[in-house]
Each structure stands twice: as structure tokens, then as C-alpha cells.
Amino acid sequence: MTIATFSLVALDCPDPHALAAFYQQIVGGEANQLTSDDEWVQLNIEGTSNIAFQRDDDYRPPGWPDGTPQQAHLDFDVTDLDEGEAAVLAIGAVKAEVQPRSDRWRVFIDPAGHPFCLVLV
């Protein structure tokens, strides 16, 4: 028996709408503002878990790999790392300087500073 069902990952950021639009270009889905004050935007992705974005005016990006806890990161499966890399760079991602296994996965930084990976499947 489980206690709960996984619902979504929520990322703090300075601009929920902008970060939702960034990830929407990667995984599709529909971005919905769930509060009247622009504090929470949820990217609803059919057939999988959702991603939410919460405004944090004091947000500071996690450090990676300098020893500062990275807090969390997202992995996205791709069939071609080079094509995936070109696509995420085109929409505003930055390739991280450190690439521990660039033949299997590549690390990028989203516009709010969160690390995420493209993983070869």
C-alpha cells in the first residue's frame, strides 16, 4: 500500500510564466496560472506528471557542481543527445561547464538557474 501518489515537481523561480514557457517547449503541455497573483503556474502534461513553477522573489539559483546543494534537477529522455542539445540551447538553456558523462547525459541550466539533464535512451 502506498501513502500517496506523486503529483508534480515544483520549482521556485523569479518568473513562473517564463520558466513554464521554457519547459513547455521541451515537453509540451498546457501552462495554467492557478492563482490570481501570478505566484503559481502549472504545466499540465498529458500522460505524465506535471511541473509547477512558484514565484520566489528571493530565489537564488543552486550551485552545481561547486558543492552548493543543487536542491533538485529534472531529467528528460532523448533519443539523440546532439539534437536535444541544439533544441534546448535554442530556447534559452545554457550548457553546464561540467559534463560528467556527455556520452550518456548532458547537463544544462534553465533560464532561472536550475540544472536539468538530457538523458540518452
Tell me if residue 29 falls in helix, strand or coil: coil
What kind of architecture, by CATH, is found in domain 70-121? Roll (3.10)
Q: Is the pTM value of this prediction over 0.85?
A: no
Assign 74 to helix, strand or coil: strand
pLDDT tens track for 2-55:
666 777 888 989 999 999 999 999 999 999 987 788 899 999 999 988 999 989
Grid coordinates given for 116: 536539468
Instruction: Determine the Cα–Cα distance for residues 80 and 62; give it in Å rounded to an integer.
Output: 27
pLDDT digits (tens, 9 = 90+) for 47-77: 988 999 989 988 888 877 776 766 777 888 8
Give the pLDDT of residue 87: 95
Would you tell me which CATH number, out of the four given (3.30.1490.120, 3.30.720.120, 3.40.50.1820, 3.40.50.720), belongs to the domain 7-56?
3.30.720.120
